Structure 1
C-alpha cells in the first residue's frame, strides 16, 4: 500500500474499517428530552472556555434511532448543556452513551461527539414513555414522561433540537501532549419533524465512577418533550484552537 492509498483511508483497521465512509441519514429518530436545573458550580467544572452559560440547565436526552444509513437501528443517551459562544446560543455536548460500536467510533473519530459504549433504551410502559441508561450491569439514569399528553408546536420542537452544537475535539499525540485540541461546532440539517408532544416528567440519575452523569445533579425538572424526526447531521468546523491560544 503506497502513500496515496494510505492517505485515502479514512478509518482503521485498513482491511476492515470500523465504520462506512458515508453521510448518515436518520429516519424516525425519536427523542425523549428532559431539561432540568442543576448546580451552577457543577456546570462551571465541566463547561470549557470560551463557552459560557446563563442558567444552570442541562438537557438529558434518550434518542432511539429507527433507521440510520450504514449503522442500522440503535439507541443513544446523554447530557447537553445550553451555552453561549459569543452571541450565539447553542448546546455543549457533555456525555453520550450508545449501544452501537460503529456509530461510537464514527462519532468520535470523524467528528467530535463524546461517545462511549452503554446500554440505553426507550420504550412505552403503561402510558409512560420510559428512557433508561445502564453502564455495564448498573443503572445510571431513569427518565419517565407521560405518553403524548399534549401536542407541541412542530416549529418549537425543531428549534429545540437544531441549535448549534459544540464539542471538544481532542486527539492525543506523543509525549503526553495533544496533537489536536479544538472547540468545534456542528448543526442538524435537512430535518423534518413528524410529531412532538409534551407531558409531566421525572428524571433520576444514579452515581457511578465511570459514568458520572449524577455529577450534574437534578434539582428541578423544567420541561420535557417527545419528538420524532428525520434528519441529517452536518460536518464539524473548528471555532477555537486551544493549542494556538497557548
Structure 2
C-alpha cells in the first residue's frame, strides 16, 4: 500500500532509508513549510455530541454482555466491542460541516481514521514508506517502540497542521515510522449493573481486546501499539495551538 492522492493534490515525500536525507527533508516539511489553515477531518463540530442510548443485557450463547436496545451492526467493531454513539454535523456533500472546536475531536471520525490508517486531517491514506506509517508522538523519556497510541497516522503533507492541532504535542513531538502499528484495544467507560440500571464504574479504562471485561465496556477510542519503529526527527519547539 502506498500514498494515494486524487489528481491535483500535492504529496510531499522523502527518502526514509537515508538517515541524513530523512532528517533534513522531514525537518523542512514538518517545521518550516507554511501550510494554509485546514480544518482536520477529525475536528469536533458545534452541536456534535454523545448520544444517550438505552442499554440492555444480551444473553445469547457466546454474546452475553452490554448491548443497545436498538443495536445495529455498526455499533460494534470487528472484535465485538460496543462503541459510544455520537451525532455528526454533515453538509450536503456528506462531509463534516459547521464551526469547529479547536483541539477537540469527534470520536467516530477519529475511530474511522484509526481503523483505516487514514490521515486525520484530509482522510486520505496516511504517509507510508518502506519503514512504515508516519506517526507523531509526544516527547518522552521512554522508547517509542511498543508505545500505545490513540492517535492515527498522518500524511506528510498535513503533519505540521496535525501537530498544531493536538494539545499533547504543544511542547514538541517525535515523528516516527511504524512498520507494524497493530490494533491493541480500546479506551472507554466500564459500566456495571446497579440493580435497576447501569452506572459507570470507571470513566477511562484501557482494555486489550482479549480482556473479558470488554463485555462491560462502551468504547470511545481505539488503541494501536507501535512496533518496529524508526525515529525520523524530534521537534522540541513549542507548537502553537
* TM-score of the pair, normalised by structure 2: 0.24
Task: Give the structure-1-normalised TM-score.
Answer: 0.23
Structure with a larger share of its residues in helix: 2
Q: Which is strand-richer, 1 or 2?
A: 1
